[in-house]
Structure 1
Amino acid sequence: MTAPTVSRILLTGFEPFDQDPINPSWEVARALDGEVIAGGAVHALQMPCVFGAAIQALDEALAELQPALVICLGFAGGRSEITPERVAINIDDARIPDNAGKQPVDEAVVANAPAAYFSTLPIKAMVRNMRDMGVPASVSNTAGTFVCNHIFYALMHRLSRRAAPGVRGGFIHTPVLPGQVASQPGMDLDLQIKGIREAIRTAMTVHQDLRENAGQLY
């Protein structure tokens, strides 16, 4: 009997940056590396927190793995929930330098490309399912203008132009770990892993997102 085909899931997290010794997004990704979730095998990749180099690493992984699902993770200080991002915008505007000292201002991620792309993940269903499991989560409408948005936009631009349709992708921000940043909210690593595992399961099994309010006034 032929063994069932297992899809590949690319799950990325960033290396530490801005003098932080740890990046929760990579700790979550590597904890899930090798797991099979809803018929998909997770392949974790640590991304450089560097403009341009992150896109090169993404391109190499897409070519090698030919994944059915791509979820990029990053961490967002000040957030206490796991936040799937709704939209990526075509702008690099760095408040701080990246790990290579680059600090672009008002530069396009991809020249002569659309202003924005929406995630193709079922972000509202992901949030609902994570909450049902006791994991704080909400939809975010801004991925910032640093390397997180940079790789999110690059991913969606590439998926929009791929010859093979049906590959879904998007970006999720995770909180910092408790005690990582003084006076900032955090979430235990085990709870973050639980939430992202459920987000992946949802992305692999839910093909039509929920239609419910997840808007914000500001």
Structure 2
Amino acid sequence: MHLPTVLVTGFEPFDGADVNPSGEIARRLGELGHPDCHLVAEVLPVSFARAPQLLAAALDAHRPDILLMLGLAENRHALTPERVALNLADAAIPDNDGDQPTDAPLEPHGPPARFTDHPVKHIAAAIDAAGIPAQVSLTAGSYVCNAVLYTALGIAEQRGDARKHSAEQRGEHGKHSADASTAPTDTTAGTTAEHGEHSEHGEHARHPRLSAGFIHVPATPQLGGDPRFTLDELERGIRIAITTILDEPA
């Protein structure tokens, strides 16, 4: 039985803190796994410049079916699945590299916003039903958490477009002889990868369909947060989120 691959990411500590529960949860999940998926984990730097690049590298390395990113929102009192990533970098505090962009686009020619395809309402309801406060959040803010979500959703869109294009080339959507007869012939058979193209197996192996989303976690008691939000409870909530995403119809 083929198990889907789930990549969970969290962040390193920032703003002078010694810990970041999002990174700790990701590490735990990577070590302990999940019975319904092949689970891998990465901890990202709190850096506008480096985090999106390392996330993209992790996606290429692990080729997940599902990406669930975690971040810390100290002032929130619930686990909050995010609906929208904004094309905006506007940092109230510097990141760990000392960068503090103001009113800057993440991608100058990108769309104003990108929406997750994770079932955020179902995720929040399932976590809340288990006795852990959860609610849907409209946006991931404008700090590094938002930057990696915006990047991930852009990559997911590109992979979806690549799969659609590959399927159309094979005639899966009714495009047959017309497209094939008018397409230029490549006389260097077997070397298409050198020209930026991929075979059916190569394209689909390197770029599986990607479902991406983000959950902010509240501060743990170690950071002065609500005593209910122990690392164990937050981990339990994220496990429920993963199960909910896995159970959602494709």
So what's the TM-score if we normalise by structure 1? 0.88
Cα deviations across residues 35-74 of structure 1 (Å, max 9, x unaligned)?
4436311111000000120011111111111100001100
Within the alignment, does 1:99 sit opposite 2:96 as a pair? yes
Cα deviations across residues 102-151 of structure 1 (Å, max 9, x unaligned)?
11111111120100011110111111111111111000112111101011
Which piece of structure 1 moves more, 19-28 or 158-167?
Answer: 158-167
Q: Percent identity?
A: 39
Which piece of structure 1 moves more, 123-132 or 199-208?
Answer: 199-208
**Within 5 Å, which residues of 2 pair with 1:185-204?**
185=226, 187-204=229-246
Letter of the 1:97 counterpart: P
Q: 1:169 aligns with which of 212, 224, 238?
A: 212
Q: 1:123 aligns with which of 116, 120, 123?
A: 120
Paired residues in the alignment total 203
Q: Which has the larger radius of gyration?
A: 2
Which residue of structure 2 aligns with residue 88 of structure 1? 85
Cα deviations across residues 8-55 of structure 1 (Å, max 9, x unaligned)?
111000000000100010111111114443631111100000012001
Unaligned runs of 5+ in 1: 209-218
Q: 2:154 aligns with which of 154, 157, 160?
A: 157
CA drift at 1:5: 2.1
- Residue aligned with 2:137, SS: coil
Displacement over 6 Å in runs of 4+: none
Within the alignment, does 1:30 sit opposite 2:73 as a pair? no
Give the superposed CA RMSD: 1.5
Q: CA separation in 1, counterparts of 2:44 and 2:12?
A: 6
Whether contact under 8 Å (2:33, 2:40) holds in the other structure is: no
> Which structure dedicates a bigger proportion of its chain to helix?
2
Q: CA separation in 1, counterparts of 2:209 and 2:2?
A: 17
Q: CA separation in 1, counterparts of 2:68 and 2:34?
A: 13
Q: CA separation in 1, counterparts of 2:95 and 2:52?
A: 14
So what's the TM-score if we normalise by structure 2? 0.78
Letter of the 2:113 counterpart: A
Q: CA separation in 2, counterparts of 1:161 and 1:129?
A: 30
- Residue aligned with 1:158, SS: helix
Unaligned runs of 5+ in 2: 164-207
CA drift at 1:81: 0.7
Letter of the 1:195 counterpart: G
